Amino acid sequence: MHTARRAVALLATAQALLLTNGVLLVAVNGLAGYALASEKRFATLPIVTYVLGSALSTLPASHFMRRYGRRAGFLLGAMAGMLGGLLGAFAMAWQSFALLLVATFCSGIYQAFGQYLRFAAAEVAPADFKSRAISLTLAGGVVGGFLGPWLGRQTLDLSTTRFLASYASLVGLAFLALLIAASLRFPAKSDEEIHGPARPMSEIARQPAFLVAVLAATVGYGVMNLLMSATPLAMEFCGLGFGDASFVLQWHVIGMFAPSFFTGWLITRYGLVPIMATGALLYGLCLAIAMSGQTLMHFWWALLFLGVGWNFLFVGGTSLLTEAYLPAEKAKTQGLNDFLVFVVMAVSSFTSGVVVTSSGWDMLNQLALPLVALTLLAVSLFGLARRRARDASV
């Protein structure tokens, strides 16, 4: 258990660096894109390429780790993060929108490898510590919630070219992640994982547990990204400055990851389904607040509830996904799950920029309503079916 806790602590530190990188990018990408893009409706395109880089790298990252191990994958991902930060700094120096898109694509590769930190935590932990290991690793994102916006404010105008220092700081963050990855050690793969039975992906994907886990992850991430990506632009259109947007994003990320200190315990105590359903309900509360006004506090409360709802859906969905595959099926199942997540995020990133600049913040929130309702319905029906199956087996 001591070895597992040390590994989880290192993974949580790596998660903190990953989220500092991600939050800083969310804070500046839309605004940097707005400054460089000739067509302002494409302002969030750097966020789209960031997510696209993640989407296209997710499956290759999973298979790379299956062959060469988690440690090698996290090292490679950190290198991509360093390259992304360096290219981003050059993009601002040369005022090149195209280079900024390449830079954020590389940063997306770092994000793709980093997504497997939570699965790595589940693998180093004993069965009775699995949910808590996942949630505690994600809790490292709390640091990112504070450090990312703070770093954004400190580096915003540090150079004569706006945002140049912000992107340059990403190189240092990824380098620290590289050092953490170099110190990680994972147990050798079991014979069952290497030579064990493996079903076709089509059979795995037909399981209700897989479908609900993927729905929770894709809608959870998609709706969160839809609103979060547009928040800096929406707040600027409302006359609220970069400092206000950083404040809102900071508390949003705290809402995303601070509950991880107890989400694992809540799942153990109350079960996966109630926690996931609560996450969907919190999304509904977020949308209601967002559509009721556009003051600083409306943005703050909406994004805070959005963060907590995401945590419950994502931690619950990740835990549920681990029930849907055998050891030998791990790489392809995790890879498909995260690939679908990032595809939805890419669509939501592009949609957020187009909708918020053409139709406004309220329309963006209205688009999310049916997705949240669908998720709540699916989770509830799955919970009911699971309870009936359990009762029938008694």
- Given a cut of 70, is residue 188 above it in pLDDT? no
Alpha carbon distance 314, 279 (integer Å): 9
Question: Quick one: what percent of the chain has pLDDT higher than 90?
Answer: 34
- Given a cut of 70, is residue 109 above it in pLDDT? yes
Task: Say if residue 189 is exposed, middle or buried (CB neighbours under 10 Å; 0-12, 13-18, 19+).
Answer: middle
Q: What is the pLDDT of residue 342?
A: 78
Q: What is the pLDDT of residue 284?
A: 95
The conformation of residue 240, written as its DSSP 8-state character, comes to: -
Q: What is the pLDDT of residue 189?
A: 62
Place of tokens 């490898």: 113
Q: 2-186+199-387, what's its fold?
A: Growth Hormone; Chain: A; (1.20.1250)
- Given a cut of 90, is residue 257 above it in pLDDT? no
- CA-nearest of 394, 228, 372, 369 to 299 is 228
Q: What is the pLDDT of residue 103?
A: 95
- Angle among Cα 366, 369, 374 to the nearest 5 degrees reads 155
- Given a cut of 60, is residue 2 above it in pLDDT? no
User: Taking residues 87-93, what's their average pLDDT?
Assistant: 93
Task: Calculate the average pLDDT of the chain.
Answer: 85
pTM listed for this prediction: 0.74
Least confident of 30-44, 187-201, 299-313: 187-201
Least confident of 38-42, 68-72, 223-227, 257-261: 38-42
Within 8 A by CB and 6+ apart from 296, the residues are: 235, 240, 244, 247, 248
Phi, psi of 322 (to 5 degrees): -65, -15
Q: How far is CA 115 from CA 27, 55, 183, 232, 335, in A?
A: 20, 11, 18, 24, 10
**pLDDT per residue as tens digits for the range 117-148:** 877 887 776 666 766 777 778 777 778 777 88
Alpha carbon distance 100, 34 (integer Å): 12
Q: How far is CA 390 from CA 23, 256, 323, 384, 393, in A?
A: 41, 32, 16, 10, 5
- Given a cut of 80, is residue 302 above it in pLDDT? yes
- Given a cut of 90, is residue 213 above it in pLDDT? yes
Q: What is the pLDDT of residue 356?
A: 83
Q: Of the segments 34-43, 88-97, 319-328, which one has the largest average pLDDT value?
A: 88-97
Beta strand spans in 184-319 (E): none
Q: What is the pLDDT of residue 297?
A: 93
**pLDDT per residue as tens digits for the range 267-289:** 888 988 999 999 999 999 999 99
- Angle among Cα 5, 109, 154 to the nearest 5 degrees reads 80
Q: What is the pLDDT of residue 25?
A: 86
Alpha carbon distance 138, 320 (integer Å): 16
Domain spans of the chain? 2-186+199-387
Q: Tokens for 277?
A: 């359903």
User: Taking residues 297-312, what's their average pLDDT?
Assistant: 94
The conformation of residue 38, written as its DSSP 8-state character, comes to: S
Q: How far is C-alpha 174 from the chain's CA centre?
A: 17
Q: How confident is the model at residue 265 (pLDDT cuts 50, 70, 90)?
A: confident
Q: Tokens for 29?
A: 């990408």
Q: What is the pLDDT of residue 31?
A: 79
Q: What is the pLDDT of residue 131?
A: 67
Q: Tokens for 43?
A: 């302002």
The half-sphere exposure of 41 on its side-chain side, counting CA atoms within 13 A, is: 6
- Given a cut of 60, is residue 91 above it in pLDDT? yes
Alpha carbon distance 14, 101 (integer Å): 25
Helix then strand count (H, E) for the chain reads: 17, 0
- Given a cut of 90, is residue 372 above it in pLDDT? yes
Name the residue with higher pLDDT: 142 or 369.
Answer: 369
Least confident of 66-70, 100-104, 113-117, 130-134: 130-134
- Given a cut of 80, is residue 228 above it in pLDDT? yes
Q: Of the segments 31-45, 152-166, 273-287, 331-345, which one has the largest average pLDDT value?
A: 273-287
Q: What is the pLDDT of residue 194?
A: 60
The residue type found at 33 is G
Are the beta carbons of 24 and 82 closer than 8 angstroms?
no
- Given a cut of 70, is residue 191 above it in pLDDT? no
Q: What is the pLDDT of residue 128?
A: 65
